[in-house]
Amino acid sequence: LKRSVKSGLLLFLGNEESPMNYPANQYRFRQDSSFLYFWGLDTPSLAAVLDVDSGKEVLFGDDPTVADIVWTGPQPLLRDKAASVGVGEAQPAANLKEIVLSAVRKGRQVHYLPPYRPENILKLEQLLGIHPSFVKSYASVEFTRAAVTQRSIKAPEEIAEIESAINITYEMQTYAMAMTRAGMIEREIAGAMHGIALARGGDLAFPIIFSIHGETLHNHYHGNEMRDGNIVVNDCGAESANGYAGDLTRTFPVSGKFTDRQKEMYQIVVDAQQKALEAIRPNVPHREIHLLSCRALASGLKQLGLMKGDVNEAVQQGAHAMFFQCGLGHMMGLDVHDMEDLGEQHVGYNGLQRSTQFGLCYLRMAKPLCPGNVITCEPGIYIIPALIDQWKAERKHEQFIDYNLLERYRDFGGIRVEDDVLVTDTGYRLLGKRVPITVAEVEAACAR
């Protein structure tokens, strides 16, 4: 990092505790991922400065008072926290402002990453005198790009952490397949999966998506009764004890057996994922892999009669987005959408022009892949009645979509399959235990 940023101070702000409804009743603490990556400390109310010119590193925070210890028990001293991660100097939190102001008075650059929590935006206002509405726009592009470059290539230790999170997620997924029955409410399974993550020493990397309404991409409602004939989209991920994410999705039938119509659609998605996986290798633009999966989906939908005409032209014009409205995947690491807080223009595009076309505009990553990248691969088919109504009324892409046949699928829901992938020197490697994915494997897992 010191070699990537030419000069100045690199300012890191850790996260604070976040109250649910009053200060002493707090959400689970989650450290800022960049602070956790570069400083390795998972406790609140810390900051750090790295002086690029002198090489000096300082950790800022406060020692617990006796009053604190009454409520929290003994806690490490700041100097001990610093020593545990190889930082040679620790100072009280109040000293940070003078360090920063001294650098500003000398005309030195103070670099910081884009903040996403309001309290850190206000801290930057107090430290640098920048109005809160402009704080994000003054974030250091040089620092951001350097952090993205480093965090994008996963070290072996990080890959091991990710695989541990994925293996917990495997347990969550296979439990859901085995235990789901008609008459249950979605939250009964979602709550049990959360319990598995906690029992294995982790937590959730993101709120569980477990729904019979899989056509809603990020559906966190868990109040539906599951019935025979429904299919469930289960998109869940554990977070390892050290903060790394897993993210797996499977779609399975509540009854334990796919209907013929569900089986046909499901196989299209599985085949599209396999084509995408086989295309993953260094230097291939992720945008091209996404479009390959779109063509595979469109080809399968054409065989069912839901799409028509030339597949390549249909995808080029965006007609496939009636069925696949989002991107194929995203980076994954300390964040499930890794480094999304640092800006997708740096993480996923790196100077490339983002499409404005519906569907393609939601692709989080377009740039060429590199060895050490960890990405998700998650094609899907989503039948969204509101989108059908809008496009049909506009006669949009009617040369590529059979709206009459599509009407018979209005209540179909959605299908998604997702695995986590390491880009290797020669191709790809699926990370962690693979959850049952073929029709036969899924039905067998549901029958346990």
Same domain, 286 and 396: yes
The DSSP output letter for 243 is: S
Q: Which runs of consecutive H residues, i.e. helices, occur in 63-202?
A: 66-72, 78-84, 96-105, 118-128, 141-152, 156-179, 186-199
CATH number for 40: 3.40.350.10
Same domain, 79 and 184: no
User: pLDDT tens string for the chain (448 positions)?
Assistant: 999 999 999 999 999 999 999 999 999 999 999 999 999 999 999 999 999 999 999 999 999 999 999 999 999 999 999 999 999 999 999 999 999 999 999 999 999 999 999 999 999 999 999 999 999 999 999 999 999 999 999 999 999 999 999 999 999 999 999 999 999 999 999 999 999 999 999 999 999 999 999 999 999 999 999 999 999 999 999 999 999 999 999 999 999 999 999 999 999 999 999 999 999 999 999 999 999 999 999 999 999 999 999 999 999 999 999 999 999 999 999 999 999 999 999 999 999 999 999 999 999 999 999 999 999 999 999 999 999 999 999 999 999 999 999 999 999 999 999 999 999 999 999 999 999 999 999 999 999 7
Residue 448 to residue 442: CA distance in whole angstroms = 10
Does residue 2 lie within any of the structural domains?
Answer: no
Does residue 1 lie within any of the structural domains?
Answer: no
Number of domains in the chain: 2
What tokens were used for 409?
A: 């699928």
Last residue of a domain, one of 135, 152, 169: 152
Last residue of a domain, one of 116, 133, 152: 152
Question: What is the rounded end-to-end Cα distance, in angstroms, of the chain?
Answer: 50
CB-based contact 185:226 (threshold 8 Å)? yes
Tokens 């086989």 locate to: 278
Domain, as residue range, for 109:
9-152
Same domain, 76 and 224: no
Residue 44 to residue 33: CA distance in whole angstroms = 12
CATH number for 393: 3.90.230.10
Same domain, 275 and 212: yes
Q: Is 218 helix (H, G, I), strand (E, B) or coil?
A: coil
Q: Is 268 helix (H, G, I), strand (E, B) or coil?
A: helix
Q: How many CA atoms lie within 13 A of 57 on its CB side?
A: 12
Does residue 3 lie within any of the structural domains?
Answer: no
